[in-house]
Amino acid sequence: MPVLRGIEITLVNQLEKRPLEEYPHPEGSLGQVLRGPSPNRGTEVSSSAHQHEGYPMASVYVASIPETPFAVKYRVCQVPPEPARYMLFNLSMNSRDMAAWSIDTSVQLEGRAARSFWMPSGQHEGEIGLDERTFVFLPSRDTSVAEDGGLIEVKVFRASERRPRSPELSEFQYRNNYGVFAPRMGLLEVTEHKYYEHILIDPRDAPYATFRFHYRAMQNLRDLHLIPSGVQSEREPIPASSGISTTFGEVDFRGV
């Protein structure tokens, strides 16, 4: 993914701690973006992002890996001028809001998001805390090429202020997963996670930058001719099973 307006976003394989493989997408074939590892480096021009509906956007295909937890890694390598002190990131999966977080660019310029928080439900219904969930690609299944894959999107906004607020949680609702799932990892104390209200500089319908990851299984990317012929994956697929053990604990896919 190119550095768009001084911001870099990648999807990271949480098991291997490295980015998912990316390939060019038609949406990201026009326009100009700023690329560079730091504010002190000269500006370069990239042709892999363009203005989408009036705001800057970059798109790529990514090869999903079955039964693999993933995270969103972010880095601000060119801090916007004042009054933009904070950067707000909104993560959605297949048009469903999953997580939001912000950073103070005077103290933090990079990090990763691997969890979302919801109102306690199921076995934790009525308890005080946050229903913590992580992001995982589902096991390989007998799905048609047309039904495989989906869209992971990160919208970035500038903010001049942020103020602490109480959590406003919704209950996690199961729906068509399109190859990704958010398994429950446990109940987290509210004090372990902070919530803020932001004074945005950018309108909600015109983000400062948008990053779109169109994910599909590697074989389907080939079958649909979405990636250049002859491209070989550097990674071996993880064998399907009923669950995987990760640094986050056991993820059970049965019944998903």
DSSP secondary structure code for residue 147 in this structure: G
| Averaged confidence pLDDT in the chain | 80
Which amino acid belongs to residue 140?
S
The residue that leads in pLDDT, 43 or 122, is 122
Facing residues of 62 across strands?
22, 215
pLDDT in tens, 140-150: 766 667 667 89
pLDDT in tens, 187-220: 888 766 788 999 999 999 999 999 999 999 888 8
- In this structure, is the dihedral angle defined by the CA atoms of residues 166, 87, 11 and 91, taken in order, positive or negative? positive
For the cut 60, the answer to whether the pLDDT of residue 243 exceeds it is no
Please compute the mean of the pLDDT values over residues 129-153 and round it to a whole number.
82
For the cut 50, the answer to whether the pLDDT of residue 236 exceeds it is no
User: Could you give the percent of the chain with pLDDT greater than 70?
Assistant: 74
Q: Which pLDDT band holds residue 232 (cuts at 50, 70, 90)?
A: low
Beta strand 136-137 pairing with 96-104:
unpaired
For the cut 60, the answer to whether the pLDDT of residue 250 exceeds it is no
Give the lowest-confidence range in 68-72, 74-78, 158-162, 224-228: 224-228
The residue that leads in pLDDT, 249 or 84, is 84
Which of 33, 41, 30, 26 lies closest to 77, judged by CA? Answer: 41
Q: Which of 28-32, 36-40, 58-62 has the highest mean pLDDT?
A: 58-62
pLDDT in tens, 41-67: 333 333 344 444 557 999 999 999 989
For the cut 50, the answer to whether the pLDDT of residue 33 exceeds it is no
For the cut 60, the answer to whether the pLDDT of residue 4 exceeds it is yes
For the cut 70, the answer to whether the pLDDT of residue 30 exceeds it is no
Please compute the mean of the pLDDT values over residues 132-142 and round it to a whole number.
84
Q: Which of 10-24, 28-42, 227-241 has the highest mean pLDDT?
A: 10-24
By the 10 Å C-beta count (0-12 exposed, 13-18 middle, 19+ buried), 130 is classed as buried
pLDDT in tens, 165-189: 887 888 887 776 778 889 988 888 8
- In this structure, is the dihedral angle defined by the CA atoms of residues 175, 179, 183 and 189, taken in order, positive or negative? negative
By the 10 Å C-beta count (0-12 exposed, 13-18 middle, 19+ buried), 229 is classed as exposed
Q: How far apart are CA 110 and CA 8, in angstroms?
A: 9
Please compute the mean of the pLDDT values over residues 1-29 and round it to a whole number.
89
pLDDT at 54: 57
Cis omega (within 30 of 0) for bond into 83: yes
